[in-house]
Amino acid sequence: MKYGIDIGHNCPPSDIGYVGIRKEDELNKEVGVKVIAKLKELKQEVVYCTPSADSSLSNSLYRRVNKANEENVDLYVSIHFNGGRGDGTEVFAISESSKKTAKRVVDEIAQLGYVNRGVKDGSFLYLLKNTKMPAILVEGGFLNSKDDMERFNAENIANAIVNGITTF
């Protein structure tokens, strides 16, 4: 399998994540680097889809999608954490195939003690509606939730994501 891994945001100066109790860019990167390493340990092919810098948010999003499409990845995974109020994990998807993968991922993360907010319709998300392959956007927890941030463990969330995307 060839996975396109997008460590959400992390593309200064224009595409930086939400700041709550913790910074989204930091958590996305902590988890994303581990997901990539774990997939490589499983002898899976990984394409890194996060640009190193960009002048606009729209161009950052375009470049992520373009990389996944050009490289013909089998599954695109964008790793994020939620801003605002709430608790728990949710995964966005559009196609039936990606919704099945999203369900496995959200259930795996919920087993770590997070509220399971389920699979959400991602048809409004640029990343999901412009990729040519099944794609998911993972929201690992809420950055303003004391419970979610106390529970956060990059290793555990990375394991949950990898288990969810590699188990069929």
pLDDT (tens, 9 = 90+) of the chain, 168 residues, equals 999 999 999 887 878 899 999 999 999 999 999 999 999 999 999 999 999 888 888 999 999 999 999 999 999 999 999 999 999 999 999 999 999 999 999 999 999 999 999 999 999 999 999 999 999 999 999 999 999 999 999 999 999 999 999 997
Q: What is the span of the domain harbouring residue 11?
A: 2-166
Residue 114 CA to residue 97 CA, distance in Å, equals 24
Closest by CA position to 103, among listed 119, 115, 126: 119
Here the CATH number for the domain that contains residue 118 is 3.40.630.40
| 43 contacts: CB under 8 Å, gap ≥ 6 | none
> Collapsing DSSP states into helix, strand and coil, what is residue 36?
helix
Query: Domains in the chain: how many in total?
Result: 1
Closest by CA position to 98, among listed 71, 127, 55: 127
